[in-house]
Amino acid sequence: DSGVTQTPKHLITATGQRVTLRCSPRSGDLSVYWYQQSLDQGLQFLIQYYNGEERAKGNILERFSAQQFPDLHSELNLSSLELGDSALYFCASSVGLGSIGEKLFFGSGTQLSVL
Amino acid sequence: AQRVTQPEKLLSVFKGAPVELKCNYSYSGSPELFWYVQYSRQRLQLLLRHISRESIKGFTADLNKGETSFHLKKPFAQEEDSAMYYCALKGDAGGTSYGKLTFGQGTILTVHP
C-alpha cells in the first residue's frame, strides 16, 4: 500500500457528462500529480499541485481541470467527456516539489469508461 | 524537451533465461532515471532508480550517460516477473516541476514456464 488513495476505483459514464476523480496523498506529502494512462497515448503527465498551488502543467485538455484543497487532497474534473477520455487516471504524491532523490508514490488509479 | 524510448512493446522469454528491457532517453541536463512495474493495470510500483544503485527482485539497471541508456536486466527471469515495465525520467527542471515524470511507452514482459 503506497498510502495514496484514489476514489472511485471505477467510473462508467456517458459522453458529454462531467465527472470528478478524487485523490488523497500520503500523509505529509505536499505535491499531488495526475497522470493519464491510455492504450494509445501511454502514461502522460497531466498536472501537478504543490501545497494548494498549480505547479506544472502537461498535456491536459482544456475540458479538464484540477485543484488541491487546504487539506491537500486533490480533485480532477473532467467535463464534456468523449469516448477518447476513457483511460486509467493515476494520482501520485511526493513530500516536496519532486526534486532529485525524492520518490513519487502512486495510487491504484481510477478506471474511467466513457460509453 | 525530455523523451524516453522503450523500443520493445513486447518481450517474451522463458523462465530462467536472461532478460534485458531497453530504455533510451533524451535530456540535456542531469536526469534521474527510474523503472516502474505494473501488474495487470494496477498501481505503478517503483522498481528501482539509478541514484540508489540498488537491486530489487534481482533486477539491476545502470545509467550509461554516453549511450543515454538505462536498460533493465535480470540474469534469470521468473514467471512472476511477467508485467508491464515503464522506464521514466525526471529532469532537473530548474525551478519548475522537478517531480514531473516522463514515461516511455512501456514493455510488456511475458515469462513462459
Q: What is the 3-state secondary structure (H, E, C) of chain A?
A: CCCCEEECCEEEECCCCCEEEEEECCCCCCEEEEEEEECCCEEEEEEEEECCEEEEECCCCCCEEEEECCCCCEEEEECCCCHHHCEEEEEEEECCCCCCCCCCEECCCEEEEEC
- The low-confidence residues of chain A, meaning pLDDT below 50, are none
Residue B60 has pLDDT above 80, yes or no: yes
Q: Cβ of B32 and A101 within 8 Å?
A: yes
Contact B56, B36 (CB under 8 A): no
Dihedrals phi, psi of A84, to nearest 5 degrees:
-70, -10
Residue B92 pLDDT class (50, 70, 90 cuts): low
Amino acid A109: pLDDT: 94
Q: Does A31 touch chain B (CB under 8 A)?
A: yes
**What chain A residue is nearest to B9 in terms of C-alpha separation?**
A42
